[in-house]
Structure 1
Amino acid sequence: MKYVEKAPHVDPVRMRHITDEALLAELGVTSIAEARPWRRPDPAWDGPATIEEADALIGAEVDFLDKGRGRSRLYGFHYLRWMTPLVHAYRETGDARYAAEWDRLFRQWYGTRDQVEGDWPGLDVIWYSLGVWARSMHVTRAMAELADEPALSDECWAMMMKTVLGGARWSAEEHDEFRHGNWQFVCAAELLHVATLFPELPEAPRWAEIGRARVLEHLELDVRADGGHHERSPGYHGMVLDAVHRVLALDPSFAEHPRVRAMHSWFASLVTSGGWIPHLQDSGVVWPAGALRRGAELGVRPEPGSHLLDASGYAIFRAGHLHTVINYGPYVGHELEPHSHHAALDFVLSGWGVPLAWEAGGPPSYDDPGYYDWYQATRGHNTILVPGEEYTEDRKAGLDLFHAGQHVDVFAGHHHGYSARHDRRIVFVRDEPSYWLVTDSIDADAVWQVHGLAPWKPHGSGYVTKNLLVVPLEAPDEVLHGNGPARIPDPATGTAEYGEIHSLGLRRADGRFTVALVPFTDDPPAVHLATVPPLASPQETSVPDHLRVAIGGIVDTVSASTWARADVREGWAADG
C-alpha cells in the first residue's frame, strides 16, 4: 500500500530510540530521537476495560481474515479497539505480558491487513475513514503507554508508526474537500491530532491545514443551528463531540466557536432524570455525564424546561421527573447507509429515571437480522402504522404548533410517510397528576402503537405496562400485541443491556385515535375519558370538541386550544 510504504524523509521522527539500521532504512530516516506521543486525556479511552478482558487475549488465536464476523463487523474488528484492554492492563499493572501480547497481535494484523476483503462494494476494510480514524486513536495511545517497554519490539513499533503515518497520508488525500457525515468529521479531527504529534514531518503542516479546515467546515455545515449533528443520532453526535474534544485539547481556541457550545447544549436538552439520552435513530443509549461536565467547563448553560431543537426536528417536554422527546425531523442520507429510522411523530417517554414508552433504538450490529424490519422499521416506534403500506423515506415531516406553557405543553405536527397524511397532537399536562393526551388522524385503516417494558394487561377501559397506563377514548376494532429487543437503561449501573419491549397496537378502520398515557409509580390510577358534549359528527374534526379526562378525583377539560382544571385554565393557538 502506497500510504504505508511511503516513508518520511526527516530527521528526527518522534519515536522511541531505534538503532536497528534495517528498520531505519525501512522508515527512510537516518536516525530517530527518543520522544513520546501525546499523553493528554483522551475521551476515546474513558470507557471501561478490565484486566479480565486483557487476560482473555493472552495466547488467543485470531483469524484477521474471517468473514464470519459479519459484513459490517469485519470492518469494526479492524479498528483494533478489541486489543486496547492490553494497553489498559499494562498501564494498570506494568506487566510486560500485556505489551508482548499487543506486539504479537499487532504484528499478525499488520502482516495480513492487505489480504482482508470486505463485502461492502467499493469500500476497503482497512483504507476507509472510520478504520483509519479509530486505529490511529488506539495505536497512538499504545505508542505512548508502551514506549519504554522492552517487550514491545522495535519491529512492532515501526509497524505502528507506519500505520499511523500511512493513515494520515490517506486521510489528507481522501478528505481534500467537505462532505457531510460523521466519517469525515472524526477522521479530520484525528488527522489534526497526528499532525500535532509529529510536527517534524514535512507533511505535518499540510495535514494540520486540511484537518483544521475540515473540522471548521463540519462545525459550520454538519452541525445544525441547535447544536445537533447532521445525522440526528445521539450516539453519532457523541462520537463527533468526542472528536471535537480531542481538537480542543490540541487547540483551545476552538472552544470559542458557537457550535461547539451548542453541541453540548443539545446533549443537555435530551438527557433524562436518569442521566441517559434515549437511543434515537441508529443510536445506543448515551450516558453523557463526561460531555456535560466539559460543556459546563466551557460555560454552557442548558436551556431549562420544554423547548424545541427545531433544526434537528425534536420537541422536548420536561417537567420534574418526566421527560418527552418527539421526533418530527427529516430522514437523513449517508455515504454508505443512513442512520435515520422509518418513523416520524414518534415519541419516547421517561419518568423517575426509567423508560415509560420506549422504542427499538439502534441495533447491536448493523449485521443484525432485525436491523431493517425491527430497529429501523416503523413498527419499532411509538407512532401510527398503516398495515400493507411501505413507509417512504421522503416523509416531509413538519411542525404545526409548539406551546411551552405553565400548566401544559403542546406539540402538533404532520408527515407524509404514507399515502395519506398523518396528523398528531400531543398535550402534556405538567400539573400533577401529569399525563400525555395523544390525538391522531389519518385517512386509512391504521394501528396506534406504543411499546412498554412489560407485557400489556387490560386495566379498566385501558391497558397497563410497567409504570404506564394507556386509555383510549374509544374502543379499538382490534388489539394487537408483539415484542422485540431494545436496550434498557439502568441508572443504578450506568448500563443499557438488551432486554425486551412489548408493543400495544390499537387498530381502527377510521384512523382516528385519542389516547391518554398516564404514568404511575405504585398502582395504576382510575382513568376515564369522555367527550363533552358528544360530537355530532366525528368526521368533521380530528380533535374532539371537548374531552373530559378524569384521574382519580381530578377532572380536566381539554379542547382544540384550551386546558382547564378547577379554576385554572391555559390556552394555546389552535394548530392548522
Structure 2
Amino acid sequence: MKRIFGGIALALLIIVVANFLYNGQETLDESWLNDEDLSNDDIIEQLTDNQYEAYFQRTDLAGEQAVKIGDLIVDNHIYSFDIWDPYKYEELDWLMDPFDDNSWKLYLHSLRMVSFLVNAYEETNDEVYLEKAMSITEDWIVNNPDNDSVSNWAWSDHAVSNRMLNLTNLYEQLQRSSIRDIGFNKLLLQSLYEHGLWQVEEGNYRFPHNHGVMQDRALIQVATLFERFDFADEWFDLGVERLKKQLEASISESGVHLEHSPGYHIHTFELFQEVNEVLSKDGLSLGEEFSDDLMNMKEYLAYVFKPDGSLPLIGDTVQTDLEHIDHLEHPYLDFIRTQGKEGAQPTDVSKVYEDAGVAILRDEWKDAEEFDQSTYVMLQAGYHSNVHKHADDLSLVLYSMGEDIFVGPGKYMYTSNPMRYYMLSSLSHNTVTVDGAGYDLDLEKIDVFIKESELTEEYDRVVAEHSLYEGITFTREIILLKPNVLVILDALESDQHHTYEQRFNLNPDAELLNFDNFGMTAALGDNLKIKIQQLETVDEVHHYKGSDEPIRGYVSYYTNQLTPVDQLEFVQKGKTANFVTIVEMESDQYSSPVESVEFTEGNLYYIKNEERKEIILQ
C-alpha cells in the first residue's frame, strides 16, 4: 500500500530491506542493529536528498520565538503554553506538578517540549536542540513503561496520541541530522511500536470522543512509519475505520459537533480535516459523505460566531476570534471574518439545529459598516455527551449593538476544584436553578429537547424543555422581537414546593445602575442601555459579583483566568414558577422600535412602529 511521509517512509524502507523483520511478538526484531556491515552513515546517506513533510507536526514555532523557546528548554525549563510560566527544574521528575493543573501534566507527558526543540532545530540546524530532545525522550521512555509508569498521565489517551506525533517528528529530524546514535534510534522505534500496540487495544480507545479522533490520527501516522511490516496495514485500516465511526457518532446530521462546545467543534473539525487532507494526498478518501459533513461543520460555525466574530462561551470554550483562524475556509466564514465585506452571506438569518439542541437567532445580517451591531441569541437545549458539557440546558447568551449582554462562564481549567465545579454547574449559566443548586450531569436522565420553533422576519421564537431536575418540568420560550428586544418565558412545574432562581451574568464591562424585584438597568460603554423587566411577581432578588462564599459571579475567558461579573438572581417560590422577562437594549444610535410588551391570556402583544402586534403562543 502506497504511503506518504517522505523521509520517514524511505528511512524505514532502507532499514527494512537490510534486516528489519517483524517476528509477530510485542518487540521488533532488532538484529539489524548489531550488523557490523550496516553503519549509521550508510543509512543517513540515503536520506539526505529526501524532503520531509510533517503532516501531523504538533507545533509550528518559527523564527525568534522557536529559538527563544528552544533555548529555555535546553536550559532545563518545561514550557508548554503561555498560560503557564516556564518551569525550571534540576532533574526531570515525571511526577512534577508545579501548577496543580491536570492540563500541565498532560502536556508534560505529551513531550510537547520535544516538539518545540525540533522546531528550534528546524529554524537553526543547531543539533544541541535535538540532543536535548533525545535526552528528555530517553528519560521519559526509561521511567514510564506501559503499565509501570511513574504517573497516571503517562499513558492517558490524549498524552499518548500527542506524544506519538512528537516522537515520529523527532525520529525523522534525527535521520536528517548528522547525529549518529543508532542505540537511541532503536529505543525510540521500539517505544513507538509499543505506543501503536497501546492504541490498538480497544480498552484504551475513547469513543465517541475527540480524544479518539486524536488516537486515530496518531495510529495512522505510526502505521505509516512502520509501513513495511504486516501489521501496518491493519493499524492503518483500523485508524481509518474508527475515524469514520467517530464522525458518525460525534457529529449530528446537521453538522454540529455533539460535545456541546463551539471551541471543541473547531478543534474536532480541524482533526477530521487534517486526516482527510493527508489521506487525499495518498489517493485515499473517507467518502463523499465525510466531505459533506465537514462542509456542514463549517457552515454551522458561520452561524455560531457572534456578530463581532468571536465564539460564545458555551461549554468548555475559551475566547476565540475568527480573524485569528485563517485556515477555516468557506464563503460564509469569509463573510463573518471580513464583517460582510467579502465572501457570501449565509442563506438563513437564524438557524435551529433540532438534532443537536441548538438555536441561534439574529435580527438580520447588517451591512459591513454596522455588521457587529446585530442582535444575536444562542440557546442550548441538547444533551448528547458529558464530554466538555456543562449543566447549561436551556441557558442562553445574548449579544447586541456590538456588545455581549449576557455571557456564559467559559472553561476555566480542567483540574477538579470548587471554581471548576461552579463553571460546570447551572449556577454559572443564564438559566433557572432550583433550591440554590444545579442538576447533575447524568446520561441516563437525558430529557431535554427543542419542542418547536418559528423563524420570521418580524420575530424568532423557540420553545425548549427539560426534566433534569427531579420531579420538575422546566419550559423556556424565547422570542426575539427584532431588532433588539428579547422576551423570556420560563415556566417550572412540580408537585413539591421549591425555590426557583432565574440567573443572568452581565458583560463584565457593564455598569449595574440599579436592580430590584421588578428588574434591572445597566449601562455599557458610552450610551448602550440594558433593561430587564419582570412582568410577574418576583419574591426576592440577589446580586453577586466575584463572590467566593458562595462562589458566584465569575466568568473565564481564558484558561486559568477569572473575571468577576455581575450575576443577578430573580427568585420565585412555590410549587410552580412563571417568569415573564423582557430584555431591551437601546442606544442613541439604535432606539428600540418595539414598545409596550404585554403578556395577556397566554399570548404576547407589543407595539412596533406604532402598530399593535400579536404572537399567539402554543
State the TM-score, normalizing by the size of structure 1.
0.78
Call closer, same or farther: CA 1:436–1:250 in 2, change over 3 Å. Answer: same
For structure 2, the 5+ residue unaligned runs are: 1-8, 21-26, 77-88, 335-342, 366-373, 547-552
Check if 1:517 corresponds to 2:583.
yes
Tell me, what secondary structure is at the counterpart of 2:237?
helix
| 2:6 equivalent in structure 1 | none
Tell me, what secondary structure is at the counterpart of 2:176?
coil
What is the root-mean-square deviation in Å for CA atoms of aligned residues? 4.0
Structure 1 residue identity aligned to 2:120: A
Call closer, same or farther: CA 1:267–1:456 in 2, change over 3 Å. Answer: same
**Aligned counterparts of 1:37 and 1:515: Cα–Cα separation in 2:** 63
| 1:52 equivalent in structure 2 | 68
Check if 1:507 corresponds to 2:576.
no
Call closer, same or farther: CA 1:472–1:276 in 2, change over 3 Å. Answer: same
**Aligned counterparts of 1:377 and 1:423: Cα–Cα separation in 2:** 19
**Aligned counterparts of 2:307 and 2:113: Cα–Cα separation in 1:** 32
* Percent pairwise identity: 18
**Aligned counterparts of 1:177 and 1:162: Cα–Cα separation in 2:** 21
Check if 1:463 corresponds to 2:499.
no
Tell me, what secondary structure is at the counterpart of 2:328?
helix
Q: Superposed, which structure 2 residues align to 1:85-100 within 5 Å? A: 85-100=116-131
Deviations 1:274-325 (A, max 9, x none): 3322232233334453452179899999653101122211100123433221
| 2:351 equivalent in structure 1 | 307
**Aligned counterparts of 1:503 and 1:39: Cα–Cα separation in 2:** 50
Contact preservation (8 Å) 1:43, 1:242: no
**Aligned counterparts of 1:296 and 1:390: Cα–Cα separation in 2:** 37
Tell me, what secondary structure is at the counterpart of 1:194?
helix
State the TM-score, normalizing by the size of structure 2.
0.73
| 1:356 equivalent in structure 2 | 405
Tell me, what secondary structure is at the counterpart of 2:565?
strand
Check if 1:245 corresponds to 2:273.
yes
Please state how far the C-alpha of 1:82 moved relative to its aligned partner.
4.1
Contact preservation (8 Å) 1:322, 1:352: yes
Structure 2 counterpart of 1:330, from 368, 383, 386: 383
| 1:545 equivalent in structure 2 | 600
| 2:368 equivalent in structure 1 | none
Contact preservation (8 Å) 2:302, 2:332: no
Contact preservation (8 Å) 2:448, 2:467: yes
| 2:431 equivalent in structure 1 | 383
| 2:149 equivalent in structure 1 | 116
Please state how far the C-alpha of 1:127 moved relative to its aligned partner.
2.9
**Aligned counterparts of 2:348 and 2:226: Cα–Cα separation in 1:** 43
Structure 2 residue identity aligned to 1:513: F
Call closer, same or farther: CA 1:384–1:508 in 2, change over 3 Å. Answer: same
Structure 2 residue identity aligned to 1:326: L
Contact preservation (8 Å) 2:427, 2:437: no
Structure 1 residue identity aligned to 2:286: F
Contact preservation (8 Å) 2:114, 2:170: no
| 1:447 equivalent in structure 2 | 501
Q: Superposed, which structure 2 residues align to 1:292-441 within 5 Å? A: 292-293=328-329, 304-318=348-362, 319-320=364-365, 321-330=374-383, 332-333=385-386, 338-351=387-400, 354-372=403-421, 374-393=422-441, 394=445, 396-418=447-469, 419-431=471-483, 434-441=484-491
| 1:3 equivalent in structure 2 | none
**Aligned counterparts of 1:528 and 1:407: Cα–Cα separation in 2:** 11
Deviations 1:168-225 (A, max 9, x none): 2221233798932222222113212332344223221111110111111122233211
Contact preservation (8 Å) 1:284, 1:487: yes
Please state how far the C-alpha of 1:255 moved relative to its aligned partner.
6.5
**Aligned counterparts of 1:497 and 1:263: Cα–Cα separation in 2:** 29
Deviations 1:438-474 (A, max 9, x none): 1212244322111121465234862315356132234
**Aligned counterparts of 1:142 and 1:247: Cα–Cα separation in 2:** 20
Q: How many pairs does the alignment contain?
A: 524
Call closer, same or farther: CA 1:251–1:465 in 2, change over 3 Å. Answer: same
**Aligned counterparts of 2:603 and 2:277: Cα–Cα separation in 1:** 52
Deviations 1:482-528 (A, max 9, x none): 23443338xxxxx9964333311122335332223334567997999
Deviations 1:20-50 (A, max 9, x none): 99xx998454665744796155485368965
Structure 1 residue identity aligned to 2:353: L
| 1:254 equivalent in structure 2 | 286
Contact preservation (8 Å) 1:193, 1:250: no
| 1:106 equivalent in structure 2 | 137
**Aligned counterparts of 1:142 and 1:524: Cα–Cα separation in 2:** 57
For structure 1, the 5+ residue unaligned runs are: 1-9, 119-123, 490-494, 533-543, 547-558
| 2:24 equivalent in structure 1 | none
Check if 1:165 corresponds to 2:219.
no
